[in-house]
């Protein structure tokens, strides 16, 4: 789960670092990053669900 954002926002930079096409008035590179900030949160939420169902016992959160 953690690898997905790294690939999308970091290693693949050469693929999305372009001005065109503009999406919602933003250059494509900026639009791409903003979308991925939100998607990263979703990835982390999924990871959190997986983690807390995987080991309920060690997490003693009040």
Partner 1 sequence: MTPATTALTVIVAIVTIGAAIGFLAGSRQRMDLEQWTVGGRGFGTALVFLLMAGEVYTTFTFLGVSGWAYSRGGPVLYALAYLTLAYVASFFFLPQLWEIGRKYRIQTQADFFNTIYRNPYLAGFVCIVGILAFVPYIQLQLDGIGIIVSVASFGHIGRVAAMTVATVLVIAFVVANGVRAIAWVSVLKDLLMLVAAIAIGVGIPLTYFGGIGATFAALAHARPEHLVMPGSTANLGHSWYISTVLLTACGFYMWPHTFGATFTARSADILRRNAVLMPIYSLTIALMFFAGFAAVLILPHLQNGDLALLTVVRRTFPPWFLGVVGGAGALTAMVPAAILLLTAATLFAKNLYRPLVAPAMSDDGVARLARAMVVLLGAASLALAIHGASTLVSLLLAGYAMVAQCLPGVLLGLYWRQVTAIGVFSGIVVGVLTAASLMFAHLDPIGGLNAGFVALCSNFVVAVAASLATRARPSAALPELN
Q: Contact residues for partner 1 (CB under 8 A)?
A: 2, 5-6, 9-11, 13-14, 17-20, 22, 24-27, 29-30, 33-34, 36-38, 40-41, 43-45, 47-48, 51-52, 59-62
Residue with tokens 């919602």: 24
Kindly state the smallest distance separating residue 27's Cβ from partner 1, in Å.
5
How far apart are the two ends of the chain, measured CA to CA in Å?
Answer: 26
- Shortest distance, position 62 Cβ to partner 1, whole Å: 7
Token duo for residue 11:
């290693």
Residue 27's nearest CA partner among 37, 35, 19 is 19
């Amino acid at each position: 789960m953690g690898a997905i954002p790294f690939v999308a926002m970091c290693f693949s930079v050469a693929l999305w670092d372009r001005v065109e096409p503009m999406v919602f008035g933003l250059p494509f590179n900026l639009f791409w990053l903003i979308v991925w900030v939100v998607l990263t949160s979703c990835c982390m939420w999924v990871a959190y669900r997986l983690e807390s169902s995987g080991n309920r016992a060690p997490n003693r959160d009040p």
